[in-house]
Amino acid sequence: MIPFSSCTLIIPHLGATDQQEKALDQCFYSLKETVPDIKILVATNGRKCKHDKGHVDLYEQGQCKAVNAAVATTSTEWVFVTNDDMIYTNNWWQRLTSFYVSGKKDNKFLCVSPKLVEPKQGAPTFIVKPFGGVEDFNKIAFENFSREREHPTELYKTGFNLPFLIRRDLWDTIGGYDVNYDPWGSNSDSDLEYKIKLAGVQPYQAQDCVVYHFSQISGTFSPENQGYWKKNWDYFIEKWGFERTDNGIWEANFEIPTERIFKPKWEGQYGL
Per-residue pLDDT of 102-122, as tens digits, reads: 777 777 999 999 999 999 998
Contacts 24+ apart (CB under 8 A), 65-68: 65/177, 65/179, 65/182, 66/12, 66/13, 67/10, 67/12, 67/43, 67/176, 67/177, 68/176, 68/177, 68/179
Predicted local confidence at residue 70, as pLDDT: 95
Share above pLDDT 70 across residues of the chain, in percent, rounded to a whole number: 93
State yes or no: pLDDT of 14 exceeds 80.
yes
State yes or no: pLDDT of 265 exceeds 90.
yes
State yes or no: pLDDT of 174 exceeds 90.
yes
State yes or no: pLDDT of 175 exceeds 90.
yes
Predicted local confidence at residue 17, as pLDDT: 84
Tell me the residue type at 79. Answer: V
State yes or no: pLDDT of 211 exceeds 80.
yes
DSSP percent split of the chain into helix, strand, coil, nearest 5: 30, 20, 50
Predicted local confidence at residue 54, as pLDDT: 67
- Across the range 16-36, mean pLDDT stands at 92
Contact 72, 10 (CB under 8 A): no
Which of 40-49, 161-170, 212-221 has the least mean pLDDT?
212-221
- Across the range 164-193, mean pLDDT stands at 96
45 DSSP 8-state letter = E
3-state secondary structure of 152: coil
Q: Which CATH class is domain 4-240?
A: alpha beta
- Across the range 138-147, mean pLDDT stands at 96
Cβ neighbours of 239 (radius 10 Å): 17
d(CA 44, CA 46): 6
State yes or no: pLDDT of 52 exceeds 60.
no
State yes or no: pLDDT of 15 exceeds 90.
no
- Across the range 64-69, mean pLDDT stands at 96
Predicted local confidence at residue 269, as pLDDT: 95
- Across the range 23-39, mean pLDDT stands at 95
Residues 192, 194, 195, 201, Cα dihedral to 10°: 110
State yes or no: pLDDT of 79 exceeds 70.
yes
Q: How far is CA 141 from CA 41, 107, 132, 163, in A?
A: 28, 36, 10, 21
Predicted local confidence at residue 226, as pLDDT: 79
